[in-house]
Structure 1
Amino acid sequence: MYRFLLTPRWWGINVFVLLAIPFCVFMGSWQLSRFEGRVEDHRTATEQASSGRDEAARPLDSMLPVDKSTSGRRVTASGHYGKQLLVPGRELDGERGFYVLTLLRTDSGKALPVVRGWLPGTADSAKAPAPPTGVVTVTGALQASETPGDNGVSAQGGLPAGQTAAISSASLVNLVPDRLYDAWVTLDKGDAGMKAVPASAPTGTGLDLKAFQNLGYTGEWFVFAGFVVFMWFRLLRRELEFQRDAALGLVPEDSAGSAVSDPSADSDASAGSDDSGDSRRTPVPSG
């Protein structure tokens, strides 16, 4: 009854199933590992941000370039405050406001963007406190340059003079004459009565939409694997039912072309044809 499994058609089906199931399981496991990796990165970044508040600040240059291991760590730098910019459309504690960003010219000849604090309301240079004069030493959390469109960072263009949508060297290079660090710092304590901006986790370490997309893809691949198994058993069952019907002579004539040939059915059909032919012959009278 199961000889049909050796036909070329079923060889193709079986090979496809044997390849498709491991592939789906592998892809599902890979997507699951991506999700677990993001969860672990999120946990590490959270623990790092918590422990970073209590650790001793290190010199800025010793912590560059910014990566997952240095983002959120406390650093210190000295210099003179220069040009000041506003970063509109930033939320803090559920309230909308703006950052006050001031460039710190260091002894290295580069300027470090420093977020001195956050103020509520619409960005207005008249509300932003002027930076201290003379040599200042800043201490705060090191942050990587922002990417417009990621983690809530606005990609809006055409802002008024003195404003920037993202805190990054690429966004600031056309606004200030100084050479810039590819990083920025948010102060531990807000300057001049402003609220301090908490450090954010590095890009790709949070439980964001991409992380849950990986989890969704995991479910999809395992569902595909189950669907392949289900369809194989469904096809097998239909083939077995057809074989039984063919053996009992219950296969309709219009499905005979698509059915698997059965020798006993063919012989019965031939016999029926002969009998019907004989019944139409005219008897020859004897004598």
Structure 2
Amino acid sequence: MYRFLLTPRWWGINVFVLLAIPFCIFMGSWQLGRFEDRVHDHRTAQAAASTAETEPARPLAAMLPVTTQTSGKQTTAKGRYGKQLLVPDRELDGRSGYYVLTLLRVDGGKALPVVRGWLPGTADAAKAPAPPAGEVTVTGALQASESPGSNGVSAAGGLPAGQTAAISAASLVNLVPYTPYDAWITLDKADAGMKAVPPAAPDNTGLDLKAFQNLGYTGEWFVFAGFVLFMWFRLLRREVEFVRDAELGLLPEAEGTPGTPEEPSDSEDAGSTPSTPSAAS
């Protein structure tokens, strides 16, 4: 009854199933691993944030490059403030406002972007306090460069002069006359009446919608594997039923049903004359 499994058609079906199910399981396991990595990074970031305030600030050079372990940690740098920029469309405590970003020129000709504080309303250079003069020592939470789409950062262009959409070396290098670090800090205590900006979680470490998308994809891939197996059993059952019906002679014939006398054709009716009994002599 199962000899049909050796036909070329069923060889193709079986090979497809044998390849599709492991592939779906692999992809589902990979997506689950991505979600577990996000959970681990989220816990690591929370643990780092809880210990950041108690740990002493370390020099900037010892904290670079920024990683998930150093992001949010306290660092210190010494230099002189230079060019100042505004970062519009930033929310704090449910209110819209802007960051006051000032470049701190340090030894070696590079500059460290420093968010000195936040002000409410529309970005206005006249309302932003001027940075302190002379050499200063700053202490704040270290942050990785922003990228468009992360942490709500807009990629909008065409901003007025003196403003930037993202705090990143790629954006600032065209706006300032010195080489910026691929990192920035937010001061623990804001300058001149501004509100301090709390450090943000590193990119791809929070349990956001993207993280739960990985979990949703995990379920989808496992559902795909079950669907492939279900369809294989369904096709197998239909094929078995077809073979059984054929063996029992329950399938309709191509030209009429067996045992049913064929109706005479029109030609036969026209060419034959019914016989009449002869009269008895």
Please indicate, yes or no, whether the TM-score normalized by the shorter chain is above 0.5: yes
SS of 1:193's partner is: coil
Distance 1:240 1:32 in 2: 38
TM-superposed CA distance for 1:46, in Å, is 1.7
In structure 1, how many angstroms separate the alpha carbons of the residues matched to 2:15 and 2:227? 16
Asked if the contact 2:87–2:165 (Cα under 8 Å) also holds between the matched residues in 1, the reply is yes
3-state SS of paired residue (2:16): helix
Distance apart, 1:59 and its partner CA: 0.5
Distance in 2, Cα, partners of 1:225 & 1:139: 53
The aligned counterpart of 2:187 is: 187
Larger helix fraction of residues: 1
Give the counterpart letter for 2:87 in structure 1: V
For 1:158, give the aligned amino acid: G
Q: Which position in structure 2 is the counterpart of 1:176?
A: 176
Query: How many Å apart are 1:254 and its aligned residue?
Result: 5.1
Provide structure 2 residue ranges, at least 5 long, that are not aligned to the other structure: 263-267, 269-281
Structure 2 counterpart of 1:247: 247
Q: Tell me the CA shift for residue 40 of structure 1.
A: 0.8
CA distance in 1, matches of 2:254, 2:181: 78
How far, CA to CA, are the matches of 2:199 and 2:253 in structure 1? Answer: 76
- Aligned ranges 1:70-109 → 2 under 5 Å: 70-109=70-109
After superposition, give the CA deviation of every residue in 1:209-234 in whole Å (9 maximum; x if it has no partner): 33222112111110110001110111
Q: Who is 1:156 aligned against? A: 156
> Does the residue aligned with 2:124 lie in a helix, a strand or coil?
coil
Partner in structure 1 of residue 146 of structure 2: 146
What is the TM-score when the length of structure 2 is the normalising length? 0.87
Q: What is the letter of the counterpart of residue 116 of structure 2?
A: R
Q: TM-score, normalised by structure 1?
A: 0.86
Cα separation, partners in 2 of 1:254 and 1:131, compared to 1, 3 Å: farther
Residue correspondence of structure 1 range 36-75 to structure 2 within 5 A: 36-75=36-75
- Structure 1 residues 239, 97: closer, same or farther in 2, change over 3 A? same
Which one-letter code corresponds to 2:247 in the other structure?
A: A
Is this contact kept in 1: 2:44–2:69, CA < 8 A? no
> Could you say which residue in structure 1 is the equivalent of 2:200?
200
* Runs of 4+ more than 6 Å apart: none
Range with greater deviation from structure 2 (86-95 or 122-131): 122-131
Match of 2:115 in 1: 115
What root-mean-square deviation, in Å, do the aligned CA atoms of Structure 1 and Structure 2 show? Answer: 2.4
> In structure 1, what is the Cα distance between the partners aligned to 2:83 and 2:50?
31
1:234, 1:228 → 2: CA distance? 10
How far is 1:189 from its partner? 1.5
- CA-CA distance at 1:3 after TM superposition: 2.5
SS of corresponding position for 1:191: coil
Q: How many residues align?
A: 265
Instruction: After superposition, give the CA deviation of every residue in 1:162-200 in whole Å (9 maximum; x if it has no partner).
Output: 111111111111211122111111011122121111111
Other-structure match for 1:260: none
CA separation in 2, counterparts of 1:215 and 1:184? Answer: 32
The gaps in structure 1 that reach 5 residues or longer are: 256-267, 281-287
- The Cα shift of 1:55 comes to 0.7
Give the Å deviation of 1:2. 2.2
CA distance in 1, matches of 2:19, 2:226: 13
Q: What amino acid does structure 1 have at the position aligned with 2:144?
A: A
Shift of 1:207: 2.1
Matches within 5 A, 1:222-233: 222-233=222-233
Evaluate the alpha carbon distance shift between residue 246 and residue 97 of structure 1 in structure 2; reply closer, same or farther with a 3 A threshold: same
Alignment-mate amino acid for residue 193 of structure 2: G
For residues 253-272 of structure 1, what are the structure 2 equivalents within 5 Å?
Answer: 253=253
Find the aligned partners of 1:63 and 1:32 in 2 and give their Cα distance.
Answer: 31
What is the alpha-carbon distance in structure 2 between the residues aligned to residue 161 and residue 8 of structure 1? 70
Identity of aligned residues (%): 78
SS at match of 2:13: helix
